[in-house]
Amino acid sequence: MRLFQCPCHAASFAAYAPADTGGGSRPVPASAGPVDRAVLEELAAASRILADQGVVDAFGHVSMRHPANPNRFLMSRSLAPALVSADDIMEFDLDCEACESKGRSGFLERFIHGEIYKVRADVNSVVHSHSPSIIPFGLTNVPMRAMFHNAAFLAEGAPVFDIREKFGATDMLVGNHAKGAELARVMGDCPIALMRAHGSVASGPSLPIAVFRAVYTEKNALLQLQSTMLAAGGPIAALDSEEGPKADAVNITSASRAWDLWKRRVMN
């Protein structure tokens, strides 16, 4: 059992239950309807932003809840994030079944997204990445803390999902419902979860905020590694639990400035 867990871990949350399919082979889920092209462009831009910002490389993915139906979400087909365009976006139900695949394959780890959407009514976007500076905090008992105001959402901590605890020796990937559900359970009500020897998950009430959190979790991890070396065992004056929510409230209202800047860098 990892020593550090988010204090909000045990909070209850509303669930969006997927439709009961009655068992057996599942029918193709019905689409929630067409999505504005501009929305698809935004989601594709988010994928390219995450690549441009160094959060994802050949792997990693971002999703958003369908604007018209909370029981559906949108996500690229399996593709390197920097290459995603609006035409690559697929629609899934919360059991991660494609509504219309058109011969395309979804990401193996799409269960991270579907299982979080099932239990987190407050989450409308999810990012999964293997961004490198975060990895050490999933391997050690050093809790990630908020080093600066842009990462204030980390002031209450980031729980660590260790896939080995429940599933033993695996390929480390969250490739089915059970693993996704366990990750969502460990994440609790936190905005971020770390994944031992794998990566992390960032979430948010909107696409720009989930991307903002993914970017600043990576930056924060690097700053914490630097601060730890500089402190040489001494204290680190990170944001405390009172400062965190106050600073994060500002971040949520101003994330659009970062979004607009980052999007301009990746528009063709």
- Residue positions annotated with a catalytic role: 109
Smallest CA-to-CA distance from 120 within 22, 234, 12, 196 is with 12
Rg, C-alpha atoms of the chain: 18
Spatial separation of the C-alpha atoms in residues 227 and 233, rounded to whole Å: 10
**Residues touching Zn ion: how many (CB under 5 A)?**
1
Nearer to Zn ion, 97 or 109 (CB): 109
**Cα 92 from chain centre:** 16
Nearer to Zn ion, 61 or 66 (CB): 61
Backbone phi, psi, residue 252, to 5°: -65, -35
Nearer to Zn ion, 65 or 110 (CB): 110
**Cα 212 from chain centre:** 11
Minimal distance, residue 134 CB to Zn ion, in Å: 12
Minimal distance, residue 18 CB to Zn ion, in Å: 23
Backbone phi, psi, residue 77, to 5°: -65, 165
Minimal distance, residue 61 CB to Zn ion, in Å: 8
Where in 81-120 is the site for Zn ion (CB under 5 A)? 109
Nearer to Zn ion, 32 or 112 (CB): 112
* The one-letter amino acid at 187: M
The interface mask with Zn ion, positions 143-162, x = CB under 5 A, is: --------------------
Minimal distance, residue 58 CB to Zn ion, in Å: 11
Residues near Zn ion, by CB under 5 A: 109
